[in-house]
Chains A and B, each alone.
Chain A
Amino acid sequence: DAGVIQSPRHEVTEMGQEVTLRCKPISGHDYLFWYRQTMMRGLELLIYFNNNVPIDDSGMPEDRFSAKMPNASFSTLKIQPSEPRDSAVYFCASSPRQGSYEQYFGPGTRLTVT
């Protein structure tokens, strides 16, 4: 298996622009997680899905952030409009099934908003 795949790996954009981050979980995994990592705030869970349904979005910072999972093999995290404080590394992770709690992380997307 190729593991969790994320794209793009790096994104540089200007303030106010829309940013879309993409994730393909490991095939057969039921859970998908989006995290944000910064030096100041560490590793924060933004939202997670179970079988494509959002379960907990309490970590989504504000309405500028939205996430979707239209099918079992694809998810997006969108920021519109982007702000400099959104600059961070965004990780996607997947987990096999309920009762199996290991999470496997993708390589991350480094987002820079200027």
Chain B
Amino acid sequence: GENVEQHPSTLSVQEGDSAVIKCTYSDSASNYFPWYKQELGKRPQLIIDIRSNVGEKKDQRIAVTLNKTAKHFSLHITETQPEDSAVYFCAAKYTGFQKLVFGTGTRLLVSP
């Protein structure tokens, strides 16, 4: 069935370091992959997304890469700052459905 696996579950980095979060999906026909950031006590907010017809997308310090052959995609955050500390969720939209299937989340902690 539909499944999205996300790793790691927690990630601690020093300010200025890079952070990478990885997700794998099961449906080879999946065509949309968003990333959401959720700060403590707040709603999930879309930070970047990628469609299956491109391999990489970048927005300032964040980027997402997609490997359709291996069925995995990754979030890259460069020059991390304390305000990047949050839980990050990946998701995949499956063909024929409008719904998203979410990963289990990665808690990122950026220490000053």
Q: Which residues of A contact B104 (CB under 8 A)?
A: 42
Does A101 contact B93, Cβ atoms closer than 8 Å? Answer: yes
Q: Which residues of A contact B98 (CB under 8 A)?
A: 31, 48, 50, 55, 95, 98, 101
A80 to chain B, nearest CB (A): 25
Give CA–CA (A105, B42) in the complex, Å.
Answer: 10
Is A25 on the interface with B (CB-CB < 8 A)? Answer: no
Known: A42-B102, A102-B49. A56 touches B43 (CB 8 A): no
Q: How many A-B residue pairs have CB under 8 A?
A: 44
Known: A101-B32, A101-B93, A102-B34. A45 touches B46 (CB 8 A): no
Total B residues in contact with A, Cβ cutoff 8 Å: 19
Give CA–CA (A55, B42) in the complex, Å.
Answer: 27
Total A residues in contact with B, Cβ cutoff 8 Å: 20
Q: Mark A30-72, 1 if CB is under 8 A from B, else 0.
A: 0101000000001101001010000110000000000000000
Q: Which residues of B contact A50 (CB under 8 A)?
A: 98
Does A101 contact B100, Cβ atoms closer than 8 Å? Answer: yes
Does B105 contact A105, Cβ atoms closer than 8 Å? Answer: no
Q: Which residues of A contact B61 (CB under 8 A)?
A: none
Give CA–CA (A4, B41) in the complex, Å.
Answer: 16
Give CA–CA (A3, B15) in the complex, Å.
Answer: 32
Give CA–CA (A43, B44) in the complex, Å.
Answer: 10
Closest 3 CB pairs of A and B: A105-B43, A43-B102, A101-B32
Which residues of chain A have a CB within 8 Å of any CB of chain B?
A: 31, 33, 42-43, 45, 48, 50, 55-56, 91, 95, 98, 101-108
